[in-house]
Amino acid sequence: MTTATLFDYPVPAAGKAASGTPPAIRRIVIVGGGTAGWMTALIFARSLIERGVQITLLESPTVPTVGVGEGSTPWLRGFFDMLGIEEAQWMPACQATYKCGIAFEGWSTKPGFERYFHPFASMLDNMTMTQFVHNAEARVNGANVHAHPDRFFIAARLAARRRAPKARENFPFDIWHAYHFDATLLGQFLHKAALARGVRYKSCHVTHATVGADGAIASISTREGETMTADLFVDCTGFSGLLIEKALKVPFISFADNLFNDAAVAIPSPIGESIPSETVSTAMKCGWTWKIPLTNRYGNGYVYSTRYCAPDAAETELRQHLGLLDSNVAARHLRMRVGRVTRHWHKNCLAVGLSQGFIEPLEATALMFIQLTGTVFLEFLGQGDLSDDAQERFNVRLNGHFEGIRDYIVTHYRTNTRTDTGYWRDNAGNSNLSDNLQKLYATWMAGKSIVPGLRAQVIGHGYPIVSWYAIMSGMGIFPDAHDLRPPSAQEARYDMTKIDDLLERSVGNYLDHGEALERIPPRREGPSLQLYLW
Ligand SMILES: Cc1cc2nc3c(=O)[nH]c(=O)nc-3n(C[C@H](O)[C@H](O)[C@H](O)COP(=O)(O)OP(=O)(O)OC[C@H]3O[C@@H](n4cnc5c(N)ncnc54)[C@H](O)[C@@H]3O)c2cc1C
């Protein structure tokens, strides 16, 4: 049995603090008051403030936050659970909705695979994973069995019926769900929560950092005339990377050779009475759109590559897609820098959030990475080892996760079968793939199981088995329908009607999404955060 490798990363139980804070870190200054700054402040505050560590967050009064980022992974649930903040407290304040997963529309042109759902795992999925993997492997080997992921997972069925990933009280199966939320409101909520937990706050603009002879940050200076020292500086200054890149000159590695998108345009649209419980990602001419339901509006955006499409054309295409061509609702254009720094922790500086890197928002992984960085840093701090060697191990670990997520995102593009634009053709033909990804594809195409490689974390680092099978099967990476043969008795051993029956009976035990949002159910205690998928 292997734990899902990404979404169930063990979040420390609420109230438990990391031990052994070394006296070397008594003062932490976080520069930046976006989501990264406030999430890091809260993660650190929970473990360190009661040990006498002073945490101060500085935020420029003139540089705005990025103001987007409305989707999440199930890690966000772990974040609020860890802080002991109930959904009923934060969700209404942030116009938040539940998210069962992401529907991908139009990425594949293979008949029957034009749409698939990437589900968040449920305990129930343990009962259908074996069947799904069995069928997917039989189909890669040419057997005509059902292998589209949507029929095997409860989350896909819930989303299709606009139900919440919230079971009625007497139903014991939990779903490791995520949320959609208003990014600005979430920032405000976290700001207040952090102040209430003892984080200090100053509105000031950092103009520069002085680097000492040892290569560490000696102090930072502000436009308001203050100079500050600290034992640890956390760079949460967004894409500008003020400390990690500008002051410490840590190199940045661009991912442009296999992730082409570098811009986005966002436009809100009205939402009706019935609110979905999924993000929809639709393939466009030169990228894809997100459609994220909040309680008061949809957040929409088109993520595209400026190499293939000018911003004006992207905006027009998005407006057309939304039926807002004649509307004067304002569009917001953003540029994205996709890649990562080589070292997230360097000397006395930790980069968190967009300053450490960004993989485009296709799977909404950025907040999860913020959490991962803060949590793993606390783990190292708890061991009292801040040496160069410890920093190296930390950076290798984080870079491994970053590259694993990158591989997963690249797979969306590499496996597309669209031929309508140069953008999609170039993505499908792109041979800039990591060794791990090449091994994964070669294993799949050879009709062998990718499970052993995923379990050993030799391939597909960072994403659980369910996700890899969902994407490869969901995109229809199988022989063409006319090349399929009748299955053997062994290949056809799972009866799809039994799977349908089990999951359909279960669907009725989950709340209607609207109902769940009106009376947000109380948090369930218990071992639900550990999901064992195989
Ligand atoms: C188009 C797009 C869509 C996205 N979608 C998602 C998504 O669905 N899910 C997800 O998880 N993530 C998403 N993200 C990423 C997500 O928005 C960010 O990871 C998250 O908001 C954290 O940003 P940040 O705090 O690092 O940076 P920012 O929000 O840019 O904050 C930077 C902060 O630094 C401060 N600052 C800057 N310079 C100075 C200075 N000199 N002195 C003092 N303060 C300074 C600013 O005032 C600001 O407070 C998306 C990003 C983009 C671009």
Q: How far, in Å, from the CA of 240 to the mean position of ligand 1?
A: 10
10 Å CB burial of residue 297 (0-12, 13-18, 19+) is middle
Q: Kindly report, residue by residue over 239-277, the tens digit of the pLDDT.
A: 999 999 999 999 999 999 999 999 999 999 999 889 999
Phi-psi region of 11 (alpha: psi -120 to 50; beta: other; left: phi over 0): beta
Q: Kindly report, residue by residue over 379-396, the tens digit of the pLDDT.
A: 999 988 899 999 999 999
The bridge status of strand 163-167 relative to strand 510-512 is antiparallel
Q: How far, in Å, from the CA of 300 to the mean position of ligand 1?
A: 18
pLDDT of 14 reads 37
Establish how many alpha carbons lie within 13 A of residue 251's alpha carbon, considering only the half-sphere containing its beta carbon.
Answer: 3
Ligand 1 surroundings by CB, under 6 angstroms:
31-37, 58-60, 63, 65-66, 68-72, 183, 205-206, 236-238, 240, 242, 264, 301, 334, 336, 353-355, 361, 364, 366-367
pLDDT of 71 reads 97
Which residue's CA is the nearest one to ligand 1's atom 4?
69
pLDDT of 526 reads 52
pLDDT of 216 reads 98
Average pLDDT of the segment spanning 172-200: 95
Q: How far, in Å, from the CA of 171 to the mean position of ligand 1?
A: 38
Q: DSSP H helical segments within 141-253, as ranges? A: 154-160, 183-196
Q: DSSP characters for 89-122?
A: HHTGGGT-EEE-EEEEESS--STT-SEEEEEPPB
Mutate to test the pocket of ligand 1, among 60, 186, 368 (most ligand atoms within 8 A of CB): 60
Which residue's CA is the nearest one to ligand 1's atom 17?
69
Q: What is the pTM of this model?
A: 0.94
**What is the spatial order of strands in the sheet that 206-211 belongs to?**
206-211, 217-222, 227-228
Nearest ligand 1 atom, CA 65: 29
The tokens for 445 are 């195409």
Mutate to test the pocket of ligand 1, among 35, 370, 373 (most ligand atoms within 8 A of CB): 35
Nearest ligand 1 atom, CA 38: 25
By three-state DSSP, how is residue 288 classified? strand
How high is the mean pLDDT of the chain? 93
Q: Kindly report, residue by residue over 314-365, the tens digit of the pLDDT.
A: 999 999 999 999 999 999 999 999 999 999 999 999 999 999 999 999 999 9
Q: Kindly report, residue by residue over 66-94, the tens digit of the pLDDT.
A: 999 999 999 999 999 999 999 999 999 99
Which residue's CA is the nearest one to ligand 1's atom 5?
69
pLDDT band of residue 19 (cuts 50, 70, 90) is: low
First to last CA, the chain: 5
Mutate to test the pocket of ligand 1, among 237, 356, 359, 405 (most ligand atoms within 8 A of CB): 237
Q: Bridge partners of 208?
A: 221
Q: How far, in Å, from the CA of 334 to the mean position of ligand 1?
A: 11
Side chain identity, residue 531: L
Which residue's CA is the nearest one to ligand 1's atom 1?
264
Q: How far, in Å, from the CA of 36 to the mean position of ligand 1?
A: 7
The bridge status of strand 227-228 relative to strand 217-222 is antiparallel
Average pLDDT of the segment spanning 170-181: 90
Mutate to test the pocket of ligand 1, among 65, 223, 242, 280 (most ligand atoms within 8 A of CB): 65
Nearest ligand 1 atom, CA 205: 42
Nearest ligand 1 atom, CA 71: 8
Nearest ligand 1 atom, CA 183: 21
Which residue's CA is the nearest one to ligand 1's atom 53?
336
Q: How far, in Å, from the CA of 94 to the mean position of ligand 1?
A: 17
Q: How far, in Å, from the CA of 479 to the mean position of ligand 1?
A: 42
pLDDT band of residue 528 (cuts 50, 70, 90) is: very low
Average pLDDT of the segment spanning 367-371: 96
Nearest ligand 1 atom, CA 352: 26
Nearest ligand 1 atom, CA 204: 43
pLDDT of 143 reads 98
How far apart are alpha carbons 204 and 172 in whole angstroms? 49
Q: What percent of the chain has pLDDT over 90?
A: 86
Q: DSSP H helical segments within 323-365, as ranges? A: none
pLDDT band of residue 525 (cuts 50, 70, 90) is: low
Q: Bridge partners of 334?
A: 264
Q: How far, in Å, from the CA of 213 to the mean position of ligand 1?
A: 31
Catalytic residue annotation: 99
